[in-house]
Chain A
Amino acid sequence: MTQPQHNPNHEDLILRWVEGTLSVSEAAVVDQVLASDPALRVRALAMRQDRLTLINLGDSHSADLSVALQEMIEREALLAMEQGSAAGSIPRGDLHVSVRRRRRPAVAGSIRPARWARAALAAGFAVAGVGLVWAAMQAPWSSVVTPPGPIVSTDPSPIDEPRPSPDALLDARTLASMTDSAPAPVDPEAAPSTPGLAARMPIDRALRLAGEGRLCIRVVTDQPDRLASGLSRRVSRARDWRVDATPPPQALANLVAPREIVGPGSPADPNRGPILADSNEPNSTFDPVFGPRIEAFAPVGVQQRILLVASRIDCAALESLTEQLIVRTGRGVVFEELPVPTGVRPALSPEEVFWWSSSPETWTGWASIPIVLDWPAVGSR
């Protein structure tokens, strides 16, 4: 087939001929040209047919998104009314979801060491990496293979709670007896340190807990199956985290107890304030009226599903994950501190084994984070 002329003028004329937007005089000129070149004429006619076919494909229809989105809109409108402004003028900083992400520097734009230095570095880390992978696989409750890269954290204060022995992991009686088994202290006045995170736990603390296997993310959703499948599909879009195919161990369900879901505006609304009764003391029991966490083990009218997500332990990954949860549910998410490490390790992926072959900015550890989806049982709303 003859290739079309590459003269820009010819291209423009033929394009407009294909689209039928030529004037009569221009069309006459093009017709004359096409008559002298049968191959070009066939091709131009075929292009015209292709265009008509594309036009006639028509619109497709999907499930109505307005309901899910309307919930978000109404919440934002309410928020705007509280702040004395209209919905259309909500300041960006007040929105739960941020489109700004702290991205790792682009590989192409970053300053790279010389090739020999990179090769030496990679070789050294390869040896160290193999050792670390092996060590991590031997450790009974080490949450993640941690290469010698920086874990993003600006808080130098160490976690002073002693780690429980592996035998104590996921022991419900241990949970009941622990007084520091509350969710992370939730202070509605404390702004999250990372823009876009609706969770009220400082990001540094969340990252530390993730590294220890003690971070849990809770979200209320009306469509848990859709959310779960959506997150699973998102795997290919987010290299920072992925939904683990491994089902969560049963003991984890005891560790992350169901909670009561209440209406918007109440203290338990994740978008309004703390999920559970507020407390002035960090790591105190979560509910000053009903006592320790064990009280929450049998709420009425709430169903729960737990997803395990393997995530890099860095701000960008956590932001990406929470942003997805917020976008897909239209609600806020809450970080919770688990009383004991879950003991669940993320399944090894090629990225983790070959972490040394990727950009140094990605040399962070991975952790398995339970995502607890709570939704009202049928008939309870």
Chain B
Amino acid sequence: MHDASPTDSDLTDQRLIARIRQGDAAAWTELIQAYQPRLYTLCLRMVGNHQTAQDLTHDAFVKVIQSISTFDARARLSTWIIRITMNTVLTYLRAQKLRRHASLDAPKHSPNTDASRFSEPPAREPGASSGVEREERARVVTRALSLVSEEHRAILVLRDVRGLEYDQIAAVLDVPPGTVKSRLFRARSALREAIENLEGNGAEP
């Protein structure tokens, strides 16, 4: 689930980039297939809607294809791609927020933002005794994730879902590493409060 060890993945990425720059179209397929699950999951955890997540993943890949010539090979490809994807997602979410504020209709049931429709995690193979409990917990945490701010959600997804290091998160979000730590702490606190609110309200699905 987390990124492979930096050495292996970096070497693989460097080879892919070299082939892409030599005009090898098949290298693109490998790159897309390698990154699609990670990027799609990132989008899904951010927006909570499968179709929107797929669209955003597609959009992010298009941007990657367009701007691969600007990629500095000294940087980590994974960080660069995740940064593009996160920017795509955040741009989308901010546009959604602006639209909601601007709309005279004040839609309150947007499928992409309604926490009640936030995509629940897929059913996982339950263990003998605690599988149901884990699923319930996963649902609560997923819902709570939709309730925290985009800023907090982004850093939680990058750290816990994607397993990025602090310096990578700093590069993706374009903030100093110190900010990452303080923001992550606040994000964990916010998530905890959201979970407590859900549990206190008996709002578990």
Contacts and interface: CB of A to CB of B under 8 A. Distances in A.
Contacts of B96: 236-237
A49 B103 CA distance: 39
B21 A230 contact: no
Interface in A151-176: none
B68 interface: yes
A105 interface: no
Interface string A60-103: 11111110111011101100110000111111100101010000
Contacts of B28: 66, 69-70, 73, 87
B160 interface: yes
Interface stretch (A8-16, A178-186, A255-263, A370-378): A8-16
Interface in B1-44: 1-2, 17, 20-25, 28-29, 32-33, 36-38, 40-41, 44
A54 B55 contact: no
A47 B37 contact: no
Contact of A86 (B22, B44, B52, B196): B22
Interface size class of chain B, counting residues whose CB lies under 8 Å from the partner chain:
35 or more
B51 A233 contact: yes
A202 to B, nearest CB: 24
B1 A58 contact: yes
A43 interface: yes
Contact of A50 (B32, B61, B110, B141): B141
A64 B33 contact: yes
Nearest to A61: B37
Interface in B66-104: 66-70, 92, 95-96, 99, 102-104
Given A62-B50, A65-B36, A66-B29, A86 B99 contact: no
B116 interface: no
A327 B66 CA distance: 11
Contacts of B21: 86-89
A95 B66 contact: yes
A62 B58 CA distance: 11
Contact of A1 (B17, B124, B156, B196): B196
Nearest to B100: A236
A61 B44 CA distance: 10
A80 B23 contact: yes
Given A57-B121, A77-B23, A97 B66 contact: yes
A68 B58 contact: yes
A9 to B, nearest CB: 11
B44 to A, nearest CB: 5
Interface string B134-158: 1001100110010000000000110
Given A60-B41, A236-B110, A237-B95, A55 B160 contact: yes
Contacts of B2: 55
Contacts of B189: 3-4, 47
B141 A54 contact: yes
A11 B179 CA distance: 12
A281 interface: no
B138 to A, nearest CB: 6
| Chain A interface residue number, banded | 35 or more
A134 interface: no
A65 B102 contact: no
B109 to A, nearest CB: 11
B171 interface: no
Nearest to A354: B104
Given A60-B122, A62-B53, A72-B62, A87 B23 contact: yes
A87 B1 contact: no
Nearest to B103: A350
Interface string B170-188: 0000000000011011001
Given A88-B20, A350-B103, A56 B110 contact: no
Interface string A238-259: 0100000000000000000000
Given A56-B138, A57-B161, A88 B121 contact: no
Contact of B17 (A49, A60, A77, A88): A88
Contacts of B36: 62, 64-66
A53 interface: yes
Given A4-B185, A50-B188, A69-B58, 14 more contacts: A11-B181, A15-B181, A51-B160, A54-B141, A58-B121, A59-B37, A60-B37, A60-B44, A66-B29, A73-B29, A99-B63, A239-B102, A350-B104, A354-B104
Q: What 9 pairs across the A-B complex have the smallest Cβ distances?
A: A88-B21, A54-B160, A86-B23, A350-B104, A66-B32, A11-B185, A73-B28, A59-B37, A53-B141
25 contacts: A3-B189, A4-B185, A11-B185, A55-B1, A55-B163, A56-B124, A57-B141, A59-B38, A60-B37, A60-B122, A62-B40, A62-B57, A64-B33, A65-B54, A65-B61, A66-B28, A69-B61, A70-B28, A72-B62, A77-B23, A87-B23, A97-B66, A234-B55, A237-B96, A239-B99
Interface of B: 1-2, 17, 20-25, 28-29, 32-33, 36-38, 40-41, 44-45, 50-55, 57-59, 61-63, 65-70, 92, 95-96, 99, 102-105, 110, 112, 121-122, 124, 134, 137-138, 141-142, 145, 156-157, 160-161, 163, 181-182, 184-185, 188-189, 191-192, 195-196
